[in-house]
């Protein structure tokens, strides 16, 4: 990686002409075919893409991200041409998965989800195929597969005609990028090319699911696809993954998505609800505070220097779309500490109550809370009720 070089950004949005987009995709394919990396848009977050079958490209992904080898990658695939195609058989023929290792019960659930949510923000953990390198799976016997819905990602995959390993395009543990400019900030001196597909639609990573041999769905990582929608298709309640099962999923490390500044989580951002002991212990009045909140009420700390509201409508979907972008803005702002409101505070309930509420069963609140917890790992998580 030559730090003197800077990545070139190519517009592949609707604002660019058909000729400009075609030339950008053509160049991106050449870069990928020669074993190098490209920052690409997806509907979830931007990915750092390399040929999933190229050992040199895989090595570069880990080097550019400073990613530990124990964290597996997701392989992104193109949507097949035509209808009524057996995608699992096609993946088996390509060497990505071993279809014969799936039980009938597991295959039934997998095919049900594929038929509805591919392309989309769903990653499936499947038996590893013969062409998948240990670097992709961290040596495990399963591989993560996703079919992205973003038109630019699909155009690139169809042109290249090989799967792309594409973790989020940021340095390991840092904030996931949802805009091309954020990719440039993270990796602009480590890769040569970024495709700008605009703001990501969802703003949270994909939901990761695997099926046990008995056909039970197990959610390894909450994400942009709501839990309730998965359960409605497979006709069963999703199971919480065990620690061993989570190893097969990317993005489940206890420290992840983190800003460089301390991030503290609170059930309340109203100073009247903070005890004198809390205020004295953490010197709130002496710090420059940045606020990340889910509801629209203005913060009342005198020392607040920057405040962002994720959703004007108090909705999880809008909050998810804005989450990483806003967290990155606060990380770059002149503040000493980021104080983040719990996603459930604006509902007036804790995460352990009212679980039958459709707003909670959507899963996005839990997914946002998961990202906040990982971002704040190592820092005191303040609660007004503690």
How confident is the model at residue 277, as a pLDDT? 57
Q: Which of 56, 138, 60, 128 is nearest to 94 (CA)?
A: 128
Q: Where in the chain is the domain with CATH 3.40.50.11030?
A: 263-375
Give the Cβ contact number of residue 56 at 10 Å. Answer: 11
Q: Where in the chain is the domain with CATH 3.90.870.10?
A: 8-246
More confident residue, 82 or 243: 82
The CATH code that applies to domain 263-375 is 3.40.50.11030
282 has pLDDT over 60? no
* Dist CA 96 CA 90 (whole Å): 9
More confident residue, 38 or 373: 38
Contact 187, 170 (CB under 8 A): yes
pTM higher than 0.75 for the full model? yes
Tokens of 353: 């109550």
Q: What is the pLDDT of residues 159-195, one digit of tens each?
A: 999 999 999 999 998 999 999 999 999 999 999 999 9
φ/ψ of 175, rounded to 5, equals: -70, 130
Arithmetic mean of pLDDT, 366-379:
76
Q: What is the pLDDT of residues 290-308, one digit of tens each?
A: 888 886 665 555 556 788 8
Confidence of residue 210 (pLDDT cuts 50, 70, 90): very high
pLDDT-above-70 percentage for the chain: 81
Q: Which residues pair with 307 in a beta bridge?
A: 291
Residue 119 preceded by cis peptide, ω within 30: yes
Going by the DSSP 8-state scheme, the letter that residue 273 receives in this structure is: G
Arithmetic mean of pLDDT, 329-351:
76
* Dist CA 50 CA 187 (whole Å): 14
The superfamily (CATH) of domain 8-246 is DHBP synthase (3.90.870.10)
Quote the mean pLDDT of the chain.
85
Distances (CA, A) of 314 to 176, 202, 263, 345: 22, 16, 21, 10
Coil/strand/helix, residue 357: coil
Contact 370, 323 (CB under 8 A): no
């Amino acid at each position: 990686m030559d730090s003197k070089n800077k990545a070139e950004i190519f517009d592949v949005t609707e604002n660019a002409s058909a000729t400009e987009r075609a030339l950008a995709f053509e160049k991106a394919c050449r870069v990928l075919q020669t074993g190098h990396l490209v920052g690409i848009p997806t509907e979830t977050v931007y990915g750092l893409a390399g040929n999933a079958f190229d050992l040199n490209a895989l090595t570069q992904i880990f080097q550019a991200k400073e990613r530990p080898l124990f964290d597996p990658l997701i392989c992104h695939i193109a949507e097949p041409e035509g209808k009524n195609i057996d995608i699992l058989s096609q993946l088996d023929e390509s060497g990505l998965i071993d279809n014969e290792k799936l039980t009938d019960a597991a295959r039934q659930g997998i095919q049900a989800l594929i038929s509805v949510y591919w392309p989309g923000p769903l990653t499936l953990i499947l038996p590893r195929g013969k062409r998948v390198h240990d670097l992709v799976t961290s040596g495990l016997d399963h591989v993560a597969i996703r079919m992205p819905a973003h038109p630019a990602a699909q155009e690139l995959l169809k042109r290249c005609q090989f799967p792309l390993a594409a973790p989020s395009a940021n340095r390991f543990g840092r904030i996931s990028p949802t805009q091309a400019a954020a990719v440039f900030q993270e990796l602009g001196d480590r890769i040569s090319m970024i495709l700008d597909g605009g703001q990501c639609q969802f703003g949270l990573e994909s939901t990761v699911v695997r099926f046990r041999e008995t056909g039970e769905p197990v959610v390894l990582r909450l994400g942009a696809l709501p839990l309730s929608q998965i359960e409605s298709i497979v006709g069963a309640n999703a199971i919480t993954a065990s620690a061993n099962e989570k190893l097969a999923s990317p993005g489940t490390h206890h420290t992840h998505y983190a800003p460089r500044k301390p991030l503290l989580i609170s059930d309340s951002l109203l100073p009247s609800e903070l005890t004198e002991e809390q205020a004295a212990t953490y010197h709130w009045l002496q710090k420059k505070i940045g606020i990340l909140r889910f509801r629209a009420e203005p913060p009342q700390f005198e020392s607040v220097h920057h405040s962002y509201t994720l959703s004007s409508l108090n909705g999880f979907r809008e909050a998810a779309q804005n989450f990483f972008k806003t967290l990155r803005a606060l990380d770059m702002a002149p503040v000493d500490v980021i104080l983040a409101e719990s996603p459930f505070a604006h509902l007036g309930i804790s995460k352990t109550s009212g679980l039958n509420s459709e707003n909670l069963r959507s899963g996005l609140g839990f997914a946002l809370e998961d990202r906040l917890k990982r971002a704040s790992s190592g820092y005191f998580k303040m609660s007004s009720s503690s």
